[in-house]
Structure 1
Amino acid sequence: MTATTTRFRTFKTEQFYPAGMGAPEHHVQNEFSMAVRSGRRMFLRGQTGFDLDGNFHGLDNVAEQTRQACRNVKQLLEEAGGSMQDVCKITVYLTEREYRSEAYAVIAEHFQGVFPCSTGLIVEGLALPELLMEIDVEAVIREV
């Protein structure tokens, strides 16, 4: 049996990224999805301080950016028929080591009782200079 693949919240980069967020004008036109479900597997686009409508939350505030990213994860999973309990793996990218305690405190609130595998990385930068964190999520939707 072949798995059905469904793409959620598709977008074009030139329409998503707001002007004036510190990034140069977007000259490359890409088409992406916020989430892809293939059978029971679920892949989310890296989530940041941008909400799903493209508004930025948490300028200079890693806890608020992490909170928004976690809200996005929950909403995207639910839109695809899953829940936070289906999360198997998270990868957290932080631009400064000292952000760990604040970011992971927020993550602990949102992933309480889930026990996903987790990898944390300190990176030199993310797509926009205002971004202090990003979370990447993979899930397997439970059979009903």
Structure 2
Amino acid sequence: MHGNVQHLNPPGLHKNPAYTQAVVVSGNATTIYVGGQNAVDASGNIVGKGDIRVQTEKALKNLETALAAGGAGLQHVVKWNVYILHGQSAQAGFEAFQKVWGQRPNPPVISGIFVPALAHPDFLVEIDAVAVVPQK
């Protein structure tokens, strides 16, 4: 049996090109869970202090690196959790997300959560993900 990932936007729920309402994974597949990523470079330096767009792009690049280590790419992500520091513009972060995601089909399900603080006071956003790679 081969793995299958099905993106669902059922009638009665809003259809948005930025996210899918539900994702069903069945069969043989590899699942990769990526912990929260921030705008930190390989040396531990914070990138884009004060700029949520830059920080979102870096967090997504870090996610992409972690996914690649597990044999996945952005196209395999089925679930994002985006933690946004209270007071920041969700729209600015979303625009950065769309820039990185591009025109790929089947966007993942997504939850955006405003939080009072993140692990470091200069962090404006943190993103974690779940990816599924169907077995061929």
Q: How far did 1:54 drift?
A: 1.7
**CA contact 2:46–2:122 (8 Å) conserved in 1:** no
- Which protein, 1 or 2, shows the higher relative CO under an 8 Å CA cutoff with sep ≥ 6? 2
Deviations 1:35-82 (A, max 9, x none): xxxx71101110111124422101111111101001111111112111
Tell me which residue corresponds to 1:89.
79
Unaligned runs of 5+ in 2: 1-28
- The 1:141/1:52 distance shift into structure 2, 3 A limit, reads farther
**Equivalent in the alignment of 2:112:** 120
Q: Retained in 1: the 8 A contact 2:80–2:127?
A: yes
- What runs of 5+ residues in structure 1 fail to find an aligned partner? 1-38
- Whether the 8 Å contact between 1:89 and 1:139 is mirrored in structure 2 is yes
Identity in percent = 27
Matched residues, number: 106
The question of 1:60 aligning with 2:50 is answered yes
Question: TM-score scaled to structure 1, two decimals?
Answer: 0.68
| Aligned counterpart, 1:102 | 92
Partner of 1:50: 40
2:13 is aligned to: none
Q: Which residue of 2 aligns with 1:69?
A: 59
What is the alpha-carbon root mean square deviation over aligned residues?
A: 1.5
Distance 1:66 1:60 in 2: 11
Runs of 4+ displaced beyond 2 Å:
none
TM-score with structure 2 length normalisation? 0.72
Q: Distance in 2 between matches of 1:143 and 1:85?
A: 15
Equivalent residues of 2:82, 2:112 under 8 A apart = yes
Verify the 8 A CA contact 1:87 1:140 in the aligned structure 2.
yes
3-state SS of the aligned residue for 1:45? strand
